[in-house]
Structure 1
Amino acid sequence: MSVAAPGRMPALYLSHGAPPLADDPVWPGELAAWGARLPRPKAILVVSAHWEEAPLAIGATTRTPLVYDFWGFPAHYYQVTYDAPGAPALAEDVRKLLGGAGTPVQDVPDRGLDHGAYVPLVEMFPAADVPVLQVSMPTLDPEQLMEIGRRLTPLRDEGVLIIGSGFFTHNLAALRHSGEQPPSWSAEFDGWGREALQAQDVDALVDFRRKAPAGRLAHPRTEHFAPLFVTLGAAEAELGSQRSVIEGFWMGLAKRSLQFG
């Protein structure tokens, strides 16, 4: 089994939920316990399903209001704050690692954290005292995202926690959930994904839309699965160290969340 290098921060893929996650009786506690078990990061780098922009964009490096990128929710969800420090030094490292490797990089200094970033961080690091930087996904191509993850890997040796934030299954249009059992397409994809990860079958994961049962139904667009590939790239040498920290379903969607290293 491959293991993380001594002192290297883990890399995570997490299912981030929606703003009502905070009211769930189980999930916030699972995230809080996970955060408490992690080594304390010097900074956090987040790639969220909710920011697609090319070329790759670096978000705010100073304290900036959150992006409430959702509609139709009760007012109190728009009053949540997460006043974590910015991470300008991390932003500069990202520019060097990606720009030096030929990946175009731009700055969007007024772009705050979206709900794919702050919703889980509120639960995992509630003190908001760890610097956080969000960068965009410049593509949904799994292989290109893995390459970005590979380029970011050295940050883990500097105490940076890399988080790909998505949702292991995500099709709100097809979700007509009632009762205790998740929809068959969500359960089938989750089971297939668990087995592919355990087998370290990255090729199958990359080709999930053809290889997975209900692949196109579980992810009609790939944006919520895509952050997994940044994490896989950043943890490519340690796929054998993986574990599913959170499993199960929330409103019928698989909330599988993974730690590497």
Structure 2
Amino acid sequence: MKEIKVYRLTILFLLLIIFLQWVYMTGRPKEGIRPLMKPPATIFKGRIAIVIDDWAYNLNNIEMLDRIHVPLTCSVLPNLGYSRAVIEELHGRKLETILHLPLEPHEKYRLENDTVMVSMDESEIKNIVERDIDSLVFIKGVSNHMGSLATEDKRTMDVIFSVLKKRGLYFLDSVVTSQSVCEDLAKKWGLRFAKRDVFLDNEEDPAYIKRQISKLKIMARRNGQAIGIGHDRRITLEVLSEVIPELKKEGYKFVFVSELVR
């Protein structure tokens, strides 16, 4: 009986060894085959809104927008030969459009037709703003074209903001003067508001534009969001089409300005 018991234990021990060896061998990857590894998740860095100003002088660069596969906000000048055609093209591409409202600057050069002047009375200002809004369908907001003097003038901006509030439009301050009163007045009116952080193309040079975009992404990472303004120029759109895919890989999310207004 004792011999049988030892025999059985030996058999069980051998079977255990065989089983463990089988588990070990089948659990190992075959020679030359590595187990699949999930790519590391991209860390979210911040939200960026890109605004392209001054559309409506022509249609030259419209098709270049098809190379930039992120949300863009485009500001369209009113009362120009291409204003209506441009806004139709932009809307067809599912881009956000806003009215680029001409406002009086300190230096009076190359003023657009029906620029809002600080010397105008309330009814004149309201008529211009209402007419410009009505002329551009699909718009979600308004930004200032020039306007270094007007955006410093409380009375003028107060009248403009009364119209925007009534129309349910947001205001984007291009910040062309350090003395802008727009942010404080927007709070007074309970108006959705945002302001520009970086101008991208004050110099029409690819290296300069890339440096400005680097500043923009630093601000987005630090503050959670940032707004950059460029212009309807071929060089600007070329650089954006080149750089934006890299920024997306780095973890930056591109959004419309309407997603950043407060």
TM value normalised by structure 1: 0.34
The one of the two structures with greater contact order (alpha-carbon pairs below 8 A, sep at least 6) is 1
Q: Which has the higher helix share?
A: 2
TM value normalised by structure 2: 0.34
- Structure showing greater Rg: 2
